[in-house]
Amino acid sequence: GAVVSQHPSRVICKSGTSVKIECRSLDFQATTMFWYRQFPKQSLMLMATSNEGSKATYEQGVEKDKFLINHASLTLSTLTVTSAHPEDSSFYICSALSRRDTQYFGPGTRLTVL
């Protein structure tokens, strides 16, 4: 079956640094990828929709200059958390949409900002 990977699975960084998270569709091409954030004890929140070759579409309230998304190829999207702060600590999940409109989820990345 289709597989989506995320790297790294866990990252700990200092406040003020930037962190890049990769999302890859391993055996299919994904023209659309989604980035979600899982707040502790809450539901998943859609952050942005990433389309290959074009600018990401951000949900209301999500700072596009804070969360930089690049969908460089049909199998790779990256989320960069710039100048990270402790409140950015969260679980970030990506998903990739196949050509058959099926969504496959990555395993998630745990970001801890000290």
Q: Applying CB under 8 A, does 40 fall inside the site for another protein?
A: yes
Instruction: Provide, rounded to whole angstroms, the least separation between the CB of residue 81 and another protein.
Output: 17
Do the strands 109-113 and 10-13 form a parallel or antiparallel pair, or are they unpaired? parallel
Q: What share of the chain is helix, strand, coil (3-state, %, to 5)?
A: 5, 55, 45
Residue 32 within binding range of another protein, rule CB under 8 A: yes
The token pair that represents 109 in the structure block:
């990345």
Which CB atom, from 40 or from 53, has the smaller least distance to another protein? 40
Contact pick of 19, 21, 97, 113 for another protein (by CB under 8 A):
97
Output the six-digit token pair for 85.
């702060």
The nearest distance, CB 4 to another protein, in angstroms, is 11
